[in-house]
Amino acid sequence: MNLNTDERPWGVERCLTHNEVSTVKLLYVKVGESLSLQLHHHRDEFWKVISGNPETIVGEKTYNNKAGDEISVPRETAHRISAPTDDVVILEISTGDFDEHDEVRLEDKYNRS
């Protein structure tokens, strides 16, 4: 995903997608909960932490994030969002071929396949 930033007289403009097919979601993760450890074959994801302090896994690395943090998740990369200390809201922008059946769950605390 190409994140262009342009300085303007009034501040800064950030272009998150440009002429791309994308799916935009807000993810609300309750404290103590987490998404599956998963990957996608056909899409990339961009996350922006709107509120809360999520723990994220991208590939082999674990991060303690805060509001304002931005995370890029390339396709074929294992990833997870958890809310260990408070409720979390994440803006997710997916680019590529979006299909819910493209989700490969590697671990899931809710026993979904």
101 phi and psi angles, rounded to 5 deg: -80, -5
Write the class of the CATH domain 21-107: mainly beta
Q: How many residues does the chain have?
A: 113
pTM greater than 0.85: yes
What is the SS3 assignment for 29? strand
- Token pair recorded at residue 70: 């931005």
Cβ–Cβ < 8 Å for 112, 36: yes
> Tell me: the pLDDT tens digits for 37-61?
999 999 999 999 999 999 999 999 9
List, for residues 18-35, the tens digit of each pLDDT value: 888 899 999 999 999 999
How far is the C-alpha of 45 from the C-alpha of 1, rounded, in Å? 8
Give the C-alpha separation, 28 to 88, whole Å: 6
Report yes or no: 12 and 6 within 8 Å, Cβ to Cβ. Answer: yes
What's the pLDDT at 55? 98
The residue type at 41: H
User: How many Cβ atoms are within 10 Å of 96's Cβ, its own excluded?
Assistant: 18
What are the extents of the domains in the chain? Answer: 21-107
